Amino acid sequence: MGNSKSGALSKEILEELQLNTKFTEEELCAWYQSFLKECPSGRITQQEFQSIYAKFFPDSDPKAYAQHVFRSFDANSDGTLDFKEYVIALHMTTAGKTNQKLEWAFSLYDVDGNGTISKNEVLEIVMAIFKMINPEDMKHLPDDENTPEKRAEKIWKFFGKKDDDKLTEEEFIEGTLANKEILRLIQFEPQKVKEKLKEKKP
């Protein structure tokens, strides 16, 4: 088995991550080194994840959003992410294929994990997203989506749901694929994240 603490990424994980993400071997190895530096145990806690996430958004408060992102990627719900879960999280939030991203977005919005999304859950995530929008960008939001409540209302209307209806994963993915406007409303502008990721290359 060898010593996994030696600072080298196992061949299996490396190959799997190259298959499932757009990251190169060099990027993955460099990230693994900085991951081990930040998290010598090889696992990252929610607090550590939040502080890493915060570095990408120095002028906002991503704590609530980071918590939801963490929850959606903690595949075995053990309260930590290993390197593989962490890289897949980075990949999905920045470069994933649309369908993968939407499956992930569904799990992000399904706050209680019961397999459907309620209007309140949409509002909870949208509120977390709003904490990450800097005041300058906030000024440029259209009137009908410049508060979390208005944006959640707009999303829910696009899906044609009543206030106490629930949204299934299939409806969520189909509706979002059919309407680019929904896609824009449910996500935090990933373009900015991509630019920041490029700057932060280890």
* pLDDT tens digits along 45-97: 999 888 877 887 777 888 999 999 899 988 778 899 999 888 887 777 767 67
pLDDT at 194 over 50: no
Q: What is the pTM (predicted TM-score) of this model?
A: 0.77
Judge contact between 37 and 48, C-beta under 8 A: no
* pLDDT tens digits along 154-184: 999 999 999 999 999 999 999 999 998 898 8
How far is 163 from 153, CA to CA, in rounded Å?
9
Q: Checking phi first, is residue 37 left (phi over 0); if not, alpha (psi -120 to 50) or beta?
A: alpha
How far is 38 from 78, CA to CA, in rounded Å?
19
- Helices (H), ranges, 21-168: 25-38, 46-56, 63-73, 83-94, 98-109, 119-130, 135-138, 148-158
Residue type, 196: K
Arithmetic mean of pLDDT, 11-24? 88
Judge contact between 185 and 155, C-beta under 8 A: yes
Bigger pLDDT: 2 or 179?
A: 179
Judge contact between 67 and 46, C-beta under 8 A: yes
Looking at residue 127, its pLDDT comes to 95
Judge contact between 110 and 117, C-beta under 8 A: yes
Residue with tokens 């920041």: 196
